[in-house]
Amino acid sequence: MKVLVAMSGGVDSSVAAALVAEAGHEVAGVTLKLWGGESDTGCCSVADVEDARRVAAQLGIDHHVLNLTEEFDHFVVDPYVAAHAAGTTPNPCVECNRHLKFGMLFDVADRLGFDMVATGHHARIATVGDEAVLQRGADANKDQSYVVGMLQAEHLKRVLFPVGVMEKSEVRAIATERGLRTASKAESQDVCFIERSKGRRNFLSTRLTLTPAAIVDQDSGTVVGEVEALELITVGQRQGLGVDSDGNRRVAVTIDRSRPAVVVTTPEQAQVTSLRLDPSTWTFAVPTAELNGDSLRVQLRSHAPSVEARVFPDHLELSKAIDPIAAGQLCVMFDASDTTVIASAVIA
């Protein structure tokens, strides 16, 4: 079998490539050059490309670099900036996976005649009947099923997640045993096109005119403070919004571009029991009848625990109140055991 391995220059994708090669498959590695600007984090630096190339050389497999900087700008960076400008909260890693790390990668695999695509994501593929399904990774602390939860059934039939069945410590041990140069490499955790040394404000200020805004109390309608940039505030945020007269930290519940204002309230009053979904963004990892009140587990942030909810085509009814979730975030729905992905949709 011919397998194209996406190699980011990190330890997970390095071990994924090693395991696929050792299984006797015909393997080639490909590194996606995504961000064309300066980077001191993430998986897009020149050093990361070089690490991937040298690991491929260690493994004796071909390595290719695919320049997708224009596509990355179009599908990830431009929508990221536009979302901040509109007062919503983008999810760039999910969109990168959707359009580039899987969407365009499968196109490349097809053109080059590869049967399967492998990545270093901590998620698992299982077979239920004749269908491939997406499941949580074995290491609960590293599980990435949320960020790949938008994969369609046709993708799941052609993807391999070799490290998804392992604890992270096992992955590093395998890399060490094989002498891979990425064995002790630190993980990338930040948005790759935001320089850690400069931050999100600096990045957006070169692409947007940042807007000062009032902080307005939801109940009284009075102005209780101000923020320097409305574009840097997200629904659910507490940092930088001060406290009320009772010492409660204020929580952003509405980003109002028209005023402009950040509407705030107390943590208790901010909680929600339902969320609207954008019907146009539904994906079904497993072909299924339209969900209409089914009780599922839903995960609403990449590192948040799931909660029980009744799922309808255009909204969720949560079993308990939770902190507000910003529009633009992904909702990934799991079965009752909280193991298998059923579907996903974007929060509206």
The residues assigned a catalytic role are 96, 192
Phi, psi dihedrals of residue 163, rounded to the nearest 5°: -95, 0
Phi, psi dihedrals of residue 15, rounded to the nearest 5°: -70, -35
> Apex CA 285: angle with CA 280 and CA 291, to 5°?
60
Q: Any idea what DSSP says for residue 93? A: H
Rounded Cα distance, 99 and 102, in Å: 6
Which tokens in the block code for residue 206?
A: 């070169």
Say whether 103 sits in a helix, a strand or coil.
helix
* β pairing state of 283-284 and 330-334: unpaired
Q: Is residue 43 within 8 Å of 188, Cβ to Cβ?
A: yes
**CA 186 vs CA 41, 119, 128, 183, 348: distances in Å:** 10, 18, 35, 9, 35
CA dihedral 84, 148, 76, 258 (to 10 degrees): -20
* AA identity, residue 29: G
Q: Any idea what DSSP says for residue 246? A: T
Q: Is 296 left (phi over 0), alpha (psi -120 to 50) or beta?
A: beta
CA dihedral 193, 61, 117, 53 (to 10 degrees): 0
